[in-house]
């Protein structure tokens, strides 16, 4: 993978995680909402790609868990019928 593209994935992932935290802190979304979990999942996936390319294994493992928790939250919110705030 091209280094520039890997860097873009990393920056997009970082932006998504910060955006999600900002939206939660300002009560624009609920922590139980699908969109909250989806943004966390996507941010984690983008950082997984970046950290894999650059072989930053602690960040890679952390974001495997991060994205997995986001995926779990997406399924849980869909099952309960929770919609975005």
Task: Specify the pLDDT at position 79.
Answer: 84
The verdict on pTM exceeding 0.85 is yes
Q: What angle do CA 11, 6, 69 make, to 5 degrees?
A: 65
Mean pLDDT in runs of 10 for the chain (85 residues)? 96 98 98 96 98 98 98 92 54
CB 31 within 8 A of CB 24: yes
Tokens of 69: 């928790």
Task: Specify the pLDDT at position 81.
Answer: 66
Task: Specify the pLDDT at position 1.
Answer: 84
CB 62 within 8 A of CB 6: no
> What are the distances in angstroms from CA 32 to CA 22, 24, 71, 75?
15, 10, 12, 11
């Amino acid at each position: 993978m091209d280094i520039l593209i890997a860097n873009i994935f990393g920056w997009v992932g970082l932006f998504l995680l910060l955006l999600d935290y900002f939206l939660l802190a300002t009560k624009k979304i609920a922590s139980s909402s699908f969109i909250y979990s989806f943004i966390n999942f996507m941010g984690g996936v983008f950082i997984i790609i970046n950290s894999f390319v650059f072989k930053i294994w602690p960040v890679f493992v952390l974001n495997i868990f991060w994205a997995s928790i986001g995926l779990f939250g997406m399924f849980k919110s869909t099952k309960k019928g929770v919609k975005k705030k």
